Amino acid sequence: MKPFETAAAGVPRWRIWWLAVRPATLSISAVPVLVGAALAWRELGRLLWTPFALAALGALLIQIGTNLYNDVGDFERGADRAERLGPPRAVSSGWLAPGEVRVAAALAFGAATLVGAWLVRYGGWPILALGVASIAAGYAYTGGPRPIAYGATGELFVFAFFGLGAVLGTYYLQTGGVGWAAATAAAMIGMLAAAVIVVNNYRDLEGDRSVGKRTLAVSIGRGWSKVEFGLLIAVPYALLPLLAAATTAGWSLVLPAASAPIATWIVTRFALERPGPQFNRILADTAQLQFAFGCLLAVAFLL
C-alpha cells in the first residue's frame, strides 16, 4: 500500500495542500505588512490600498513558496525522518509527490515575482532589490549548496525578511521613505517572528544534529536557546517606550503590552517543558503571539 493511502486516505486533496503550506504560521508574513501600513497611515492620514494589498499578497506567496520548498528540500536531503517531533510533512509522509510540490513552490515564487514587478511601479529600484533578495532568500532557505535552514542564520533570515524587509518595504511603498519609528516597529515584529524559528530548532535539535544540520540551537545548546527565546520575546515589549517617543502614538502603545501575560506564559512553557511533540503547540502559540502583538500595534497606530 502506498504511503498516501495509509496516511491520508479519504482526506481531500485541497486539505493536503492546505496542510503543506503550514497555515498556522502564515500570519508571520501578513503581520509586518499590516504594521508598516498602519504606521504610514498614522503619519500621512491616508493609505494606498493597491500597494498595500499587493505587498500582503507578495509576502504571503514568498512564505508559501518557502514552506513548500522546505518540505520537499528536507525530504530530498534526508532531514525529515520518521522520528521527527514536528507535524508530518506532505512529501515525507507520501501525501504529495516531490515533483508536484517543487512545481507548486516555483509557481508561488513566480507569482510573487509578478506581484513584485507591479510593486516596482510604486516603489522603484529599492522595492525591486527587496523583492529579488526576498525570493532568492526564500529559495536559499532550503535550496542551494548551503541552505540557510541548515546553518546558524535561520533566525537572522526571518528577522531580516519577515521583520525589517516586510515592515520597512510596506512603509516605503506608502511614504517613499523610512525612519526610526518604522525601523523600531520592524525590529519588534522581526524578533517575534524569529522566536518561532527558535521553537522549531529547539524542538528538532537532536534530529537536526543527527542529519548534519548546524542550526543555532545545535550550535549553542538548549540552555542558551532558552535565553535567546526569552530575549526575542521580551525585547519587543521593552522597545514600546522607544516607539512611543519616536511616534505620535503615545499612550495608545500600551495596547500591545496587553499581550504580555501570554508572552510570559509561552516563555515559561518553553523554559520548563521537556523537548517533545508539545513544542508543536508552543510553536503555534508563538506565531499567534506575533499575530496578536502585531495587530494590537497596528490598532495603536490607527487610534
Q: What is the predicted pLDDT for the residue at 218? A: 96
Q: What is the predicted pLDDT for the residue at 82? A: 54
Question: Domain tally for the chain?
Answer: 1
Q: Which residues contact 228 (CB under 8 A, 6 or more apart)?
A: 155, 198, 216, 220
Residue 122 sits in which domain range?
Answer: 25-302
17 part of a folded domain:
no
Cα–Cα nearest to 65, from 171, 143, 121 = 143
pLDDT average per 10 residues of sequence, the chain (303 residues) = 46 86 92 97 95 96 94 79 69 89 95 95 94 93 86 95 96 96 97 97 91 93 97 98 91 95 98 92 96 97 94
273 part of a folded domain:
yes
202 part of a folded domain:
yes
Q: What is the predicted pLDDT for the residue at 276? A: 87
Q: What is the predicted pLDDT for the residue at 88? A: 76
Question: Looking at residue 34, which CATH number applies to its domain?
Answer: 1.10.600
241 part of a folded domain:
yes
Q: What is the predicted pLDDT for the residue at 142? A: 86
**Structure-block grid coordinates of residue 153:** 542564520
